[in-house]
Amino acid sequence: MIRKIRSLVLALVAVAALGATLASGAQAGALDIGAVPAVITGHSVQGQEHVFALTTTAGGKFVVKCPTASFEGTTQGQVGVAEQTVTATYGPNCVTGGGGAATVQMNGCKYTLTGAGQAAFTELVDIVGCTAGKKVEIKTPICTMTIAEQAGIPHIVFDNTNNAGVPKDVDTTVTLNGIHVVQDGAACPDGNNHTSFNLALTGNTTTRAFFDAGTVAVVKHNHQYLEHLCGAQVELFAT
DSSP tag of 225:
E
Average pLDDT of 116-132? Answer: 97
User: In the prediction, which pLDDT does 10 show?
Assistant: 36
Query: What are the distances in angstroms from CA 55 to CA 52, 62, 97, 176?
Result: 10, 7, 13, 13
pLDDT band of 6, cuts 50, 70, 90 = very low
Identify the pLDDT of residue 220. Answer: 65
The predicted model gives 146-154 an average pLDDT of 98
pLDDT of residue 3: 43
Q: Are 107 and 134 in contact (CB under 8 A)?
A: yes
| Four-residue CA torsion sign, 22, 25, 26, 32 | negative
- Which among 76, 181, 192, 203 is positioned nearest to 137, based on CA atoms? 181
The residue that leads in pLDDT, 89 or 229, is 89
Three-state DSSP at 133 gives coil
Would you state the torsion angle of the CA atoms of residues 36, 33, 92, 51, taken in this order, to the nearest 10 degrees?
-140
pLDDT in tens, 68-107: 999 999 998 999 999 999 999 999 999 999 999 999 999 9
Q: How confident is the model at residue 167 (pLDDT cuts 50, 70, 90)?
A: confident
Q: Amino acid identity, residue 17?
A: A
Beta bridge partners of 62: 54
137 close to 104: Cβ distance less than 8 angstroms: yes
Instruction: Compute the distance between CA of residue 3 and CA of residue 156 in angstroms, rounded to an integer.
Output: 50
The pLDDT, as a whole number, for residue 221 is: 56
- 3-class SS at 139? strand
Question: DSSP code of 28?
Answer: B
Percent of the chain with pLDDT over 70: 87
Supply the pLDDT for residue 47: 86
Model pLDDT for residues 41-50, shown as the tens digit of each residue: 999 998 889 9
Structure confidence by residue, pLDDT tens digits, 7-65 = 433 333 333 443 433 344 457 899 999 999 999 999 999 888 999 999 999 999 999 99
Give pLDDT, residue 223.
62
DSSP state at residue 58: T
Task: Check residue 223 and report its DSSP letter.
Answer: E
For residue 189, which amino acid is it? Answer: P
How far apart are alpha carbons 45 and 208 in whole angstroms? Answer: 13
pLDDT score at 213: 84
Q: What is the pTM of this model?
A: 0.84
- In angstroms, the CA 87 to CA 91 distance is 14
Mean of pLDDT values over 208-235: 80
Selection from 131, 89, 135, 87 nearest residue 110 by Cα: 87
